[in-house]
């Protein structure tokens, strides 16, 4: 799949002609999710019933932020914490983060090895800008969230590892190994967005071993291979699934790993905008310098609130216990529904949920014909059919870098009402039954 859009291809005739813009502006691919969201909004405006499982966000009416966090935010604003925060994040917040991840995850980072920003995105961007130059090799699995776009930002060489349903769409060490030579970034995510699946311990250990060996082979004076480890959903694992991370498995990986984390997903606080990176001080300080020119700071009041909230272990644990049970219930109920549809001979499948707020589903209907006689020639036709005939809005994996003919989708339950699940499954069943 190409990551460079044809100049003017998608927007020809739609935008004012101002002459050539930057190469980045002219070639950056727009978000498929935002495009789909526009179609959904229009259908909702017209009064259609849509089961919207597209967005990796939460309906605050269903999943509000922790009450203790909300109260701390209000308190911080009433205390007039409305000025600029420290560029690297306030000291009290970085100290709270250090204590929190030490206790909860068992990895130890000093405050000067922590950088705070307005969520994970600016931190990932800052990391890519810190490590990669034009022409550097960057490895990432597909499907995965936004790695193709960040690689494009820095004009890196895309080294895509095709993940497969046989491995729950998680890359294996042997898949990554051929790309390691001269690569500077290996972007990993677990639990994975968009799949809701996780690394097994043995797989991640093998990947860490390869990274350590590759960096030893390079010797002094050469750029190293760094792992970007996005663990935004690490506190949202279900059943007997455990979260694993590079430094816990291989302490030597601390020199080569930068973690991305936040309150966004595990506390349903996507709009509160407090995230952090953990990593070697030399990398973190350069990321800070880059972000200082962008101004992607988490707001002062929210930083003060999170610093206090993370110390309230009982409130944290109580929220997570309830939150995880509600998310897990939705994921498992939809998964079981898909398995019933599959048993009925309909062209669907799903991977058992492990973590995050996502379910990996498959609708393999290319080549079938609708009741009206219209053939579904491409996967995008199937996506449109699901939306138009079943009112089901899900994000195709090709929006995450997978091949355009992939029949797999991300289903997000952050805005899912439990009482609508059966209705959604029935609408899907009815739409698929009439296909020939």
The answer to whether the beta carbons of residues 184 and 138 sit under 8 Å apart is yes
pLDDT at 18: 57
Cis peptide before 138 (omega within 30 of 0): no
- Distance in angstroms (rounded) separating the CA atoms of residues 343 and 251: 46
The 3 state secondary structure assigned to 124-176 is HHHHHHHHCCCCCEEEEEECCCCHHHHHHHCCCEEEEEECCHHHCCCCCHHHH
Structure-block tokens of residue 96: 């709270």
- Distance in angstroms (rounded) separating the CA atoms of residues 212 and 337: 43
pLDDT at 4: 36
Q: Does residue 15 carry a pLDDT above 90? A: no
Structure-block tokens of residue 299: 């707001």
Banded pLDDT at 19 (limits 50, 70, 90): low
Half-sphere exposure of 163 (CA within 13 A, CB side): 30
CATH architecture of 23-63+318-433: Alpha-Beta Complex (3.90)
Instruction: Tell me whether the CATH fold assigned to 23-63+318-433 matches the one assigned to 67-312.
Output: no
- Calculate mean pLDDT across residues 264-268: 98
pLDDT at 220: 86
- Please, what is the average pLDDT of the chain? 94
CATH topology assigned to domain 67-312? 3.40.640
pLDDT at 28: 83
Per-residue pLDDT tens for 135-166? 999 999 999 999 999 999 999 999 999 999 99
Cis peptide before 143 (omega within 30 of 0): yes
Per-residue pLDDT tens for 89-122? 999 999 999 999 999 999 999 999 999 999 999 9
Angstrom CA distances, 435 to 246, 316, 411, stand at 46, 48, 22
Q: What is the pairing mode between strands 408-412 and 358-363? A: antiparallel
Half-sphere exposure of 157 (CA within 13 A, CB side): 10
Determine the length of the chain: 436
Per-residue pLDDT tens for 298-340? 999 999 999 999 999 999 999 999 999 999 999 999 999 999 9
Q: Is 384 helix (H, G, I), strand (E, B) or coil?
A: helix
Per-residue b or e along 301-333, where b marks 16 or more CB atoms closer than 10 Å to that residue's CB: bbbbbbbbbbeeeebbeebbeebbebbbebbee
Angstrom CA distances, 149 to 27, 128, 144, 283, stand at 10, 11, 11, 21
- Distance in angstroms (rounded) separating the CA atoms of residues 201 and 415: 31
- Distance in angstroms (rounded) separating the CA atoms of residues 27 and 97: 38
The answer to whether the beta carbons of residues 247 and 276 sit under 8 Å apart is no
Q: Which residues contact 164 (CB under 8 A, 6 or more apart)?
A: none
Banded pLDDT at 8 (limits 50, 70, 90): very low
- Distance in angstroms (rounded) separating the CA atoms of residues 264 and 193: 13
- Distance in angstroms (rounded) separating the CA atoms of residues 293 and 287: 10
**Whole-structure pTM value:** 0.93
- Distance in angstroms (rounded) separating the CA atoms of residues 205 and 249: 6
Banded pLDDT at 17 (limits 50, 70, 90): low
Domains of the chain by residue range: 23-63+318-433, 67-312
Q: Is 90 helix (H, G, I), strand (E, B) or coil?
A: coil
For the chain, percent of residues with pLDDT exceeding 90:
89
Per-residue pLDDT tens for 346-392? 999 999 999 999 999 999 999 999 999 999 999 999 999 999 999 99
* E strand or H helix that includes residue 324: helix 313-343
At which residue do the structure tokens 């491995």 appear? Answer: 167
Partner residues linked to 161 by β-bridges: 141
Neighbours of 199 (CB within 10 A): 25
- Distance in angstroms (rounded) separating the CA atoms of residues 264 and 225: 28
């Amino acid at each position: 799949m190409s990551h460079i859009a044809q100049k003017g291809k998608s927007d020809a005739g739609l935008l004012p002609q101002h002459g050539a813009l930057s190469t980045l502006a002219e070639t950056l691919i727009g978000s498929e999710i935002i495009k789909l969201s526009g179609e959904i909004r229009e259908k909702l405006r017209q009064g259609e019933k849509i089961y919207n499982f597209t967005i990796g966000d939460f309906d605050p009416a269903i999943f509000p932020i922790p009450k203790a966090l909300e109260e701390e935010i209000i308190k911080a604003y009433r205390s007039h914490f409305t000025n600029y925060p420290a560029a690297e994040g306030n000291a009290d917040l970085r100290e709270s983060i250090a204590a929190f991840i030490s206790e909860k995850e068992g990895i130890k980072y000093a405050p000067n090895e922590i950088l705070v920003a307005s969520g994970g995105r600016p931190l990932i961007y800052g990391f890519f800008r810190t490590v990669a130059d034009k022409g550097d090799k960057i490895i990432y699995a597909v499907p995965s969230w936004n790695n193709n776009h960040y690689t494009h930002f820095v004009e890196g060489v895309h080294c895509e590892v095709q993940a497969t349903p046989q491995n729950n769409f998680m890359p294996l060490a042997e898949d990554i190994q051929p790309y390691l030579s001269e690569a500077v970034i290996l972007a990993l995510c677990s639990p994975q967005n968009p799949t809701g699946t996780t690394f097994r311990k043995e797989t991640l250990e093998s990947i860490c071993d390869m990274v350590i060996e590759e960096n030893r082979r390079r010797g002094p004076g050469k750029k190293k291979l760094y792992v970007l480890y996005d663990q935004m959903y690490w506190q949202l694992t279900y059943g007997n699934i455990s979260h694993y991370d590079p430094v816990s498995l291989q302490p030597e990986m601390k020199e080569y790993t930068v973690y991305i984390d936040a309150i966004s997903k595990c506390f349903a606080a996507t709009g509160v905008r407090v995230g952090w990176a953990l990593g070697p001080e030399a990398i973190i300080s350069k990321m800070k310098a880059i972000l200082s020119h962008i101004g992607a700071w988490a707001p002062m009041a929210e930083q003060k609130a999170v610093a206090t909230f993370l110390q309230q272990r009982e409130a944290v644990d109580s929220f997570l216990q309830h939150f995880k049970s509600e998310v897990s219930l939705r994921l498992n109920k939809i998964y079981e529904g898909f398995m019933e549809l599959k048993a009925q001979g309909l062209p669907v499948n799903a991977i058992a949920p492990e973590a995050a707020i996502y379910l990996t589903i498959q609708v393999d209907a290319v080549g079938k014909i609708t009741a009206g006689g219209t053939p579904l020639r491409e996967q995008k036709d199937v996506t449109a059919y699901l939306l138009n005939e079943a009112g089901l809005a899900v994000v195709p994996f090709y929006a995450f870098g997978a091949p355009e003919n992939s029949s797999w989708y991300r289903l997000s339950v952050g805005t899912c009402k439990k009482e609508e699940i059966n209705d959604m499954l029935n609408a899907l069943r009815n739409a698929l039954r009439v296909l020939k």
